[in-house]
Amino acid sequence: MNFDFTNRKVLVGGATDGIGWSSAKLFAANGAELILLGRNDKKLAKRASELSSIRSNKIRTLNIDFTKPEELEDKLSQFLLSQRLDIDVVVNNTGGPPSGRLDIASTSELISAFNMHLISYHKILGVVSKGMKERSFGRIINVISTSVKQPLNGLGVSNTVRGAVANWAKTLSNELGEYNITVNNVLPGATNTGRLNEIIRNKAQKQAIGEQLVKDGMASEVPMKRIAEPEEVAYAILFLASEYANYINGINLPVDGGRTKSL
Ligand SMILES: NC(=O)c1ccc[n+]([C@@H]2O[C@H](COP(=O)([O-])OP(=O)(O)OC[C@H]3O[C@@H](n4cnc5c(N)ncnc54)[C@H](OP(=O)(O)O)[C@@H]3O)[C@@H](O)[C@H]2O)c1
């Protein structure tokens, strides 16, 4: 299987670290033009220069905060207009909500998580979907979590918003399929990124045990007895964006080493 994203314009959220960064590297290596989103200009510039050295595709960056959907919508639409850019592929991805129980979570935590995930993704859709429909091509891939299938303990707000994003995506896949726009979700399990390290640190503090013990415990719950590397999730994203997945629409694809206990 050879991926070829030549002439494809790919928008990657949370592109400076973790799963987003791994996806950006793979898209760049396979010929895509990229628009990297993140909140830190320095990090964005560094990542853009790293990608240019992989392959000399056009790499653009845009400083966008997913907790501010209205601002995101304005900035993104103005940017695409000024650059005369049409987006072919969107990777909806950003940082995860803070961990904690749901019963004691505040409504502001819930609102913030919904803004960061569901509402921002919907704003991005509003900016790109008209062009996708006109050109009869679009690939929307949402990086969610296995909690779509099985809620995870201690990630109450996250579980709640993930379910909403998955249902949003499934509904869109019904509505947009006739325009040759597919909408699919990738559900990472425990993956070796900054986000996972933060979750491990919190658990270790709460349980007053070492971080390595928490990490080993996580790995032991996976049939493959290890945590994923972010590239392993990124390959699933690339596949769903590629021509090999032209007829795949409306699915949830776990990349979790078999950890999820449902069919
Ligand atoms: N890693 C796992 O084990 C795992 C498992 C299941 C689900 N997930 C989910 O997968 C997604 C990606 O996770 P990851 O592990 O790749 O995370 P990560 O390594 O922490 O990277 C998060 C990325 O999102 C950006 N970001 C964070 N907050 C943002 C905001 N408010 N606005 C714009 N960009 C923001 C960060 O860039 P800047 O800080 O530079 O802005 C960074 O590039 C998250 O939703 C996470 O919950 C992860």
Measured by CA distance, the residue closest to atom 14 of ligand 1 is 18
Q: What is the arithmetic mean of pLDDT over 206-235?
A: 96
Q: What is the arithmetic mean of pLDDT over 32-42?
A: 97
pTM over 0.75: yes
Residue given tokens 């919190």 in the structure block: 202
Condensed to tens digits (0 to 9), the pLDDT of residues 60-114 reads 999 999 999 999 999 999 999 999 999 999 999 999 999 999 999 999 999 999 9
Ligand 1 centre from 83 Cα, in Å?
Answer: 26
Please report which residue ranges of the chain form alpha helices under DSSP H.
18-29, 41-54, 69-82, 107-114, 120-135, 156-176, 194-207, 211-220, 230-241
Q: Structure tokens of 41?
A: 């200009």
Domains of the chain: 9-189+229-255 (3.40.50.720), 192-227 (no CATH)
Average pLDDT of the chain, as a whole number: 96
From 16, 61, 94, 124, the mutation candidate for ligand 1 (largest count of ligand atoms within 8 A of CB) is: 94
Ligand 1 centre from 262 Cα, in Å?
Answer: 25
Ligand 1 pocket, CB under 6 A: 14-20, 38-40, 43, 64-67, 93-96, 116, 143, 145, 188, 190-191, 193-196
Q: Looking at residue 200, what is its pLDDT?
A: 93
Question: Does residue 95 contact residue 101 with C-beta atoms inside 8 Å?
Answer: no
Q: What is the arithmetic mean of pLDDT over 113-127?
A: 98
Name residue 222's beta-bridge partners.
Answer: none
Q: Report CA dihedral (21, 24, 29, 30) to the nearest 10 degrees.
A: 150
| Radius of gyration for the alpha carbons in the chain, expressed in angstroms and rounded | 18
Measured by CA distance, the residue closest to atom 20 of ligand 1 is 195
Specify the DSSP class assigned to residue 18: H
pLDDT bracket for residue 53 (50, 70, 90): confident
Q: Please state the atom number of ligand 1 nearest to the C-alpha of residue 94.
A: 24
Measured by CA distance, the residue closest to atom 17 of ligand 1 is 195
Question: Does residue 165 contact residue 252 with C-beta atoms inside 8 Å?
Answer: no
Ligand 1 centre from 134 Cα, in Å?
Answer: 31
Residue length of the chain: 263
